[in-house]
């Protein structure tokens, strides 16, 4: 299964993506987690993007798309859960091209919808637990601003595929996960 999770910061995408990956035995390809790992281990790439992440800005497309291509080729041949990519239309088109070249397509796009005030509250709470450099009030506001301006429009790109699964993310982890399992079952039954 080739899956994509999409939605604002704080919507619980990462939590659900990890759980799907474990239950369906798929690699979890999270651009944010992987960028933070590169920063933590001090790679040249990590040094290059550290300030960008701390400011809540997007890493330039050519860098991000290059990394994603590597990861999909190395790990995604038998399915994946992609998390944090694409974040704008150029990345969405690059992903379409990449998958087409590999003879693959997305099976479902899980869209986590959440009001900004709830997203902000959740991120501020997480800030106390995880100590992420980008979970300060200013940077949270900037990340949500970029989300609405650049990422939200690609929802329409995916709605057009008929494979978008809209989820109300303002519920418990269990409730959302049950709905995801039901949706994935419907896709499997239809296949
Ligand atoms: P969040 O969704 O809470 O912002 P992520 O862990 O998904 O957290 O991403 C953290 C940061 O990593 C982003 O603010 C951005 O700087 C960078 N990043 C992640 N994915 C991408 C991407 N697809 N394109 C550009 N930058 C990205």
Inside any domain, residue 136: yes
Instruction: Report residue 174's pLDDT band, with 50, 70 and 90 as the boundaries.
Output: very high
Q: pTM of the full predicted structure?
A: 0.95
Rounded distance between C-alpha atoms, residue 68 and residue 62, angstroms: 10
Q: What is the CATH number of the domain that holds 64?
A: 3.40.50.300
Inside any domain, residue 154: yes
Which tens digit of pLDDT belongs to each residue from 115-173? Answer: 999 999 999 998 888 888 899 999 999 999 999 999 999 999 999 999 999 999 999 99
The 3-class SS string of 96-113 reads: HHHHHHCCCCCCEEEEEE
Q: Give the per-residue pLDDT at 81.
A: 98
Inside any domain, residue 48: yes
Atom of ligand 1 lying closest to residue 33 CA = 6
Inside any domain, residue 141: yes
Which tens digit of pLDDT belongs to each residue from 58-78? Answer: 999 999 999 999 999 999 999
Atom of ligand 1 lying closest to residue 53 CA = 16
Domain count, the chain: 1
Residue 167 structural domain: 2-186
What SS3 state is found at 12? coil
Inside any domain, residue 191: no
Please tell me which residue in 69, 104, 132, 142 is annotated as part of the active site.
132
- Asked if the peptide bond before residue 83 counts as cis, ω within 30 degrees of 0, the response is no
**Any ligand 1 atom below 6 A from CB of 84:** yes
């Amino acid at each position: 299964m080739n899956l994509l999770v999409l939605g604002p910061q704080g919507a619980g995408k990462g939590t659900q993506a990890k759980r799907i990956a474990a239950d369906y035995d798929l690699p979890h390809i999270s651009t944010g987690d992987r960028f933070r790992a590169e920063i933590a281990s001090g790679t040249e790439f990590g040094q290059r993007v550290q300030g960008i992440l701390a400011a809540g800005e997007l890493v330039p497309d050519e860098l991000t798309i290059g990394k994603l291509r590597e990861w999909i080729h190395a790990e995604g041949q038998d399915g994946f859960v992609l998390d944090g990519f694409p974040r704008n239309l150029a990345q969405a088109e690059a992903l379409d091209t990449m998958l087409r070249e590999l003879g693959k397509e997305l099976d479902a796009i899980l869209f986590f919808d959440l009001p900004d005030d709830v997203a902000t509250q959740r991120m501020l709470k997480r800030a106390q637990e995880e100590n992420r450099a980008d979970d300060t009030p200013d940077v949270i506001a900037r990340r949500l601003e970029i989300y609405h301006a650049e990422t939200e429009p690609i929802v329409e790109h995916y709605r057009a595929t008929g494979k978008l699964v809209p989820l109300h993310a303002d519920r418990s982890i269990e409730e959302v996960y049950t709905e995801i399992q039901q949706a994935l079952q419907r896709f499997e039954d239809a296949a």
